[in-house]
């Protein structure tokens, strides 16, 4: 709904991921003011980062991961992780993700676990400090 409202002029600002917005940017419906990642997007190389725009210390990126139920045997996790990393390196998969504004990272299950251990408390604090609540 937010995208519809932005394109329709009901709201003036929207923060989302590059893949979500890229189509509307390419067809001239939206103008990107800044990128929230630490570096510029290869899909939008002329758009500065927030840090370059004077807002140092702000970084927010969208990431996607695949999770399995707690207690999944380590050999199964390793097999899934290997297959996912192989798939991410396939030229058609990698090219598609990049063309839509994504970065292809892959990695180990432990690296993803470290990311989750860092991101969950970070965003929990931001939500708590904002005073937001579920109604």
User: Domain holding 44: CATH number?
Assistant: 3.40.190.10
Q: Indicate if the pLDDT at residue 99 is higher than 90.
A: no
Tokens linked to 30: 């939206």
The boundaries of the domain holding residue 44 are 1-62
Instruction: Tell whether 54 and 79 lie within a shared domain.
Output: no
Residue 49 β-bridge partners = 35
Instruction: Tell whether 54 and 80 lie within a shared domain.
Output: no
Q: Would the pTM count as exceeding 0.85?
A: no
Whether residue 135 lies inside any domain: the answer is: no
Q: pLDDT value at position 46?
A: 94
Q: Which of 41, 40, 15 is nearest to 30 (CA)?
A: 15
Instruction: Tell whether 44 and 95 lie within a shared domain.
Output: no
Whether residue 67 lies inside any domain: the answer is: no
Q: pLDDT value at position 27?
A: 93
Instruction: Tell whether 80 and 124 lie within a shared domain.
Output: yes
Whether residue 17 lies inside any domain: the answer is: yes
Q: Indicate if the pLDDT at residue 114 is higher than 90.
A: yes
Q: pLDDT value at position 134?
A: 84
Q: pLDDT value at position 135?
A: 79
- Can you tell me the mean pLDDT for 82-95? 95
Instruction: Tell whether 42 and 7 lie within a shared domain.
Output: yes
Residues 15 and 36: beta-carbon distance below 8 Å: yes
Q: Indicate if the pLDDT at residue 19 is higher than 90.
A: no
- Percent of the residues in the chain that have a pLDDT greater than 70, as a whole number: 100
DSSP 47: S
Whether residue 78 lies inside any domain: the answer is: yes
Q: pLDDT value at position 103?
A: 85
Which of 62, 82, 104 represents a domain boundary (last residue)? 62
Q: Tell me how many domains the chain contains.
A: 2
Which of 40, 62, 84 represents a domain boundary (last residue)? 62
């Amino acid at each position: 709904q937010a995208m519809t409202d932005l394109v329709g002029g009901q709201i003036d600002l929207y923060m989302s991921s590059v893949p979500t917005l890229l189509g509307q940017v390419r067809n001239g419906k939206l103008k990107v003011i800044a990128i929230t990642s630490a570096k510029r997007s290869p899909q939008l190389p002329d758009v500065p980062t927030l840090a370059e725009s004077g807002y140092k210390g702000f970084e927010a990126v969208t990431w996607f991961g695949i999770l399995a139920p707690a207690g999944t045997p380590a050999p199964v996790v390793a097999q899934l992780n290997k297959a996912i990393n192989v798939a991410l390196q396939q030229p058609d998969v990698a090219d598609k993700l990049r063309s839509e504004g994504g970065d292809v990272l892959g990695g180990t299950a432990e690296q993803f676990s470290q990311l989750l251990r860092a991101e969950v408390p970070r965003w929990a604090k931001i939500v708590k400090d904002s005073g937001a609540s579920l109604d």
